[in-house]
């Protein structure tokens, strides 16, 4: 590990943010294809609060994490990149808007003066409009990359047939039987554990009768089993396994963004990726963060954030440090370790992770054995080394 003394302030940060509370969200257990969900007032509030926290952390000149030269009150749109995962309806894009309202709240300072001398304040007392990009606009399946991915579906089937899954399923069976009266039409098959927890959580949050009759600990038990399954689904035995696909397709954006920030011509200070829970699980696994903090192996809460902060040490090397805040119930960031260190050089970060990434449509099609959907039909698969599963563990 290199000397971590940093010059004052950060150069920039990439923020991975989970959306806020939402309506029910069904995911097919055999594909993880999902239905639409909508953000709720609770979710908007969670994201807004997170935006305020990030404002206090990164835009406050008295904060040790102040980002050098960032505009503090009136947004400079060239300093922000905002991208939202378009999978699962409007919840993620609207979460990004709520977060931005906390990060750069309305201000009269955002007024402009026209050539004829008239000053104009934006609506709502100076609302600051920040352009965001929606994931599905770009062809490269960098977000929601597990959908339509055939090898990911094989991975699911393999998990459901594994002895650890069957064993856990047996352990969970008495609980799932007791939970049956609280599931309505939702199947209590253990493969459906994500949807089971989501149903219980949404009902418990919004249905007064349900809130009053659900036995104590049932919500926590459902979460425990759901987290266990999600960890198995969105990690893998190796860093470049198909189970890690949510982060393998997001890391190129992270690496490119951090690389851009090291350039003198760079203007972008904050790169915000609004996503769902899956990439967090894979990220904590591929960076070995769960080795030093085993309790982060579960699912992150709504409005959680991972910050990858870029700074420069006294030798002039660029360094990356990873912090995490598990939703609104954590009031502060906690420092995580990547590969055992609180901070690693950007070169080392890239060296340890870039080889695992899927960085183009072509690469994704081949890694998933998808030959038609999501822009894959334009490629020639006759030389596809993965077509028959070579090197993927899925041959035969
Ligand atoms: C997943 O959903 C998309 C549409 O959202 C559909 O085109 C695709 O066929 C579905 N894939 C599977 C495996 O069900
Ligand atoms: C911040 O601005 C000052 C003055 O314009 C400049 O010297 C410095 O290099 C800038 N720092 C960064 C990180 O852009
Ligand atoms: C100045 O321009 C704005 C926008 O076109 C217009 O609404 C306003 O009436 C003009 N003011 C004067 C004093 O001409
Ligand atoms: C099955 O679960 C039990 C505890 O419920 C544990 O002791 C055992 O090691 C597990 N076996 C496997 C193969 O995971
Ligand atoms: C549970 O669901 C899986 C598919 O998700 C299916 O293969 C299995 O047969 C189901 N088990 C029962 C007992 O219905
Ligand atoms: C609320 O929960 C009760 C008890 O489970 C259930 O009977 C009722 O259908 C639920 N209401 C709604 C709107 O889902
Ligand atoms: C990553 O997840 C796999 C299970 O998919 C597990 O075997 C491995 O220990 C995890 N690695 C870390 C560093 O937690
Ligand atoms: C990095 O900079 C290039 C050139 O300005 C730009 O096209 C690209 O979108 C940037 N990438 C990221 C992830 O910020
Ligand atoms: C976040 O906190 C919840 C409790 O509110 C916990 O169940 C979950 O495991 C935590 N997730 C992580 C990634 O730390
Ligand atoms: C990450 O953890 C695994 C054990 O899960 C270990 O084999 C590997 O060496 C670690 N990698 C680094 C770079 O620390
Ligand atoms: C994408 O990854 C491949 C290796 O898989 C690498 O050769 C290529 O340079 C990468 N492209 C970019 C733009 O980083
Ligand atoms: C990959 O897809 C091709 C074309 O759909 C199919 O012929 C082949 O069997 C698939 N490979 C595997 C390992 O499933």
The ligand minimizing its distance to the Cα of 381 is 12
Residue 389 is predicted with a pLDDT of 45
CA-284 nearest atom, ligand 9? 13
282: Cβ contacts below 8 Å, ≥ 6 apart: 234, 235, 243, 244, 245, 246, 247, 248
Predicted confidence (pLDDT) per residue in 337-360, tens digit: 999 999 999 999 999 999 999 988
Q: What is the helix (H) or strand (E) element at residue 46, kind and residue range?
A: helix 41-58
Could you tell me if residue 241 is left (phi over 0), alpha (psi between -120 and 50 degrees) or otherwise beta?
Answer: beta
Q: Domain ranges in the chain?
A: 12-110+120-146+237-356, 166-233
- What does the DSSP assignment read for 110-144? G-EE-TTS-EEPPHHHH------EEGGGSSS--SS
Predicted confidence (pLDDT) per residue in 283-302, tens digit: 999 999 999 999 999 999 99
Output the residue whose Cα is nearest ligand 12's atom 3. 387
C-alpha angle 37/43/49, rounded to 5°?
150
- CA-closest candidate to residue 322, choices 332, 312, 314, 334: 334
**C-beta of residue 49 within 8 angstroms of C-beta of residue 305:** no
Q: Is it the case that residue 320 has pLDDT exceeding 80? A: yes
Residue 390 is predicted with a pLDDT of 43
- What is the distance in angstroms between the CA of the first residue and the CA of the last residue of the chain? 44
Tell me the whole-structure pTM to 2 decimals: 0.92
Q: Tell me the average pLDDT across 254-262.
A: 96
Q: Give, for ligand 6, the residue of 24, 209, 214 to mutate: max count of ligand atoms closer than 8 Å to Cβ.
A: 209
- Residue 39 token pair: 């953000």
In sequence order, which ranges of 112-267 are alpha helices (DSSP H)?
A: 123-126, 150-161, 163-179, 193-206, 208-213, 218-233, 245-248, 251-261
Q: Which of 100-114, 318-332, 370-384 has the lowest mean pLDDT?
A: 370-384
Q: Is 339 strand, coil or helix?
A: coil
Predicted confidence (pLDDT) per residue in 55-83, tens digit: 999 999 999 999 999 999 999 999 999 99
Q: Is 164 strand, coil or helix?
A: helix
The ligand minimizing its distance to the Cα of 174 is 4
Residue 90 is predicted with a pLDDT of 83
Q: How confident is the model at residue 87 (pLDDT cuts 50, 70, 90)?
A: low
Q: Is it the case that residue 258 has pLDDT exceeding 50? A: yes
Whole-angstrom Cα distance, residue 95 to residue 48? 8
Taking all residues of the chain, what is their mean pLDDT, rounded to a whole number? 91
Q: Is it the case that residue 243 has pLDDT exceeding 80? A: yes
Residue 137 is predicted with a pLDDT of 44
**C-beta of residue 241 within 8 angstroms of C-beta of residue 57:** no
Residue 388 is predicted with a pLDDT of 46
For helices 218-233 and 278-286, give the axis angle rounded to 10 degrees: 60
Give ligand 3 pocket residues (Cβ under 6 A): 114, 116, 118
Q: Is it the case that residue 131 has pLDDT exceeding 50? A: yes
Q: Is it the case that residue 384 has pLDDT exceeding 80? A: no
Residue 387 is predicted with a pLDDT of 53
Q: How confident is the model at residue 160 (pLDDT cuts 50, 70, 90)?
A: very high
Long-range contact set of residues 321-329: C-beta below 8 Å, sequence gap at least 24: 322/287, 322/289, 324/296, 324/300, 325/50, 325/53, 326/296, 326/300, 326/301, 327/18, 327/46, 327/300, 327/301, 327/302, 327/303, 328/46, 328/49, 328/50, 328/301, 328/302, 328/303, 329/301
Residue 36 is predicted with a pLDDT of 81
Q: Tell me the average pLDDT across 155-181.
A: 97
Q: Can you list the positions of beta strands (E) in the chain?
A: 12-18, 80-84, 112-113, 119-120, 133-134, 270-275, 305-312, 318-325, 334-335, 344-345
Q: Tell me which of 83 and 225 has the higher pLDDT.
A: 225
Q: Which of 3-17, 172-186, 196-210, 322-336 has the lowest mean pLDDT?
A: 3-17
In the block, residue with structure tokens 């064993």: 167
Q: Tell me the average pLDDT across 179-207.
A: 97
Q: How confident is the model at residue 164 (pLDDT cuts 50, 70, 90)?
A: very high
**C-beta of residue 32 within 8 angstroms of C-beta of residue 290:** no
Residue 130 is predicted with a pLDDT of 87
Q: Is it the case that residue 381 has pLDDT exceeding 90? A: no
Strand partners, 396: none
Q: Which of 92-96, 183-187, 194-198, 349-353 has the lowest mean pLDDT?
A: 92-96
Strand 80-84 to 270-275 pairing: parallel
What helix, strand, coil percent values describe the chain, rounded to 5? 45, 15, 40
Indicate if ligand 5 lies below 6 Å from the C-beta of 141. no
Indicate if ligand 12 lies below 6 Å from the C-beta of 389. yes
Q: Tell me the average pLDDT across 363-378.
A: 84
Q: Is 53 strand, coil or helix?
A: helix
Residue 201 is predicted with a pLDDT of 97
Predicted confidence (pLDDT) per residue in 29-51, tens digit: 999 998 888 999 999 999 999 99
Dihedral angle of Cα 218, 222, 228, 232, to the nearest 10 degrees: 170
Options 2.160.10.10, 3.40.50.620, 3.10.20.30, 3.40.50.1240; CATH for 12-110+120-146+237-356 is 3.40.50.1240
- Residue 96 token pair: 């990004």
Output the residue whose Cα is nearest ligand 2's atom 1. 69
CA-171 nearest atom, ligand 4? 5
Whole-angstrom Cα distance, residue 307 to residue 305? 6
CA-208 nearest atom, ligand 6? 1
């Amino acid at each position: 590990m290199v000397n971590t003394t940093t010059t004052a302030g950060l150069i920039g940060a990439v923020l991975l943010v989970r959306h806020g509370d939402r309506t029910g969200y069904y995911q097919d257990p055999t594909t993880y294809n999902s239905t639409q969900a909508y953000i709720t007032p609770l979710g908007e509030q969670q994201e807004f609060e997170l935006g305020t926290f990030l404002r206090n952390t990164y835009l406050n000149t008295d904060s040790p994490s102040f980002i050098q030269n960032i505009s503090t009150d009136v947004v400079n749109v060239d300093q922000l990149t905002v991208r939202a995962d378009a999978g699962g309806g409007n919840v993620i894009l609207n979460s990004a808007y709520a977060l931005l309202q906390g990060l750069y709240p309305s201000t009269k300072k955002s007024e402009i003066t026209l050539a004829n001398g008239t000053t104009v304040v934006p609506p709502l007392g100076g609302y600051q409009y920040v352009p965001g990009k929606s994931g599905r606009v770009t062809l490269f399946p960098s977000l929601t990359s597990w959908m339509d991915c055939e090898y990911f579906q094989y991975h699911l089937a393999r998990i459901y047939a594994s002895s650890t899954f069957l064993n856990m399923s047996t352990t969970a069976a008495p609980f799932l039987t007791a939970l049956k009266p609280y599931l309505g039409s939702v199947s209590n098959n253990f493969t459906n554990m994500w949807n089971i927890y989501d149903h219980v959580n949404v009902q418990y949050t919004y249905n007064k009768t349900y809130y009053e009759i659900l036995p104590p600990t049932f919500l926590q038990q459902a979460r425990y089993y759901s987290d266990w399954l999600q960890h198995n689904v969105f990690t893998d035995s190796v860093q470049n396994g198909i189970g890690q696909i949510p982060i393998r397709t997001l890391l190129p954006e992270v690496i490119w963004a951090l690389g851009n920030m090291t350039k003198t011509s760079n203007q972008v200070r904050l790169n915000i990726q609004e996503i769902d829970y899956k990439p967090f699980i894979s990220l904590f696994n591929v960076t070995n963060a769960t080795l030093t903090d085993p309790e982060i192996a579960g699912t992150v809460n709504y409005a959680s954030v991972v910050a990858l902060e870029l700074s420069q040490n006294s030798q002039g090397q660029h360094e990356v440090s990873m912090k995490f805040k598990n939703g609104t119930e954590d009031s502060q960031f906690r420092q995580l370790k990547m590969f055992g260190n609180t901070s690693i050089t950007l070169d080392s970060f890239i060296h340890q992770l870039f080889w695992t990434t899927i960085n183009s449509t072509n690469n994704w099609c081949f890694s998933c054995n998808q030959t038609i959907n999501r822009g894959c039909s334009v490629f020639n698969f006759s030389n596809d080394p993965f077509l028959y599963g070579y090197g993927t563990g899925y041959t035969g």
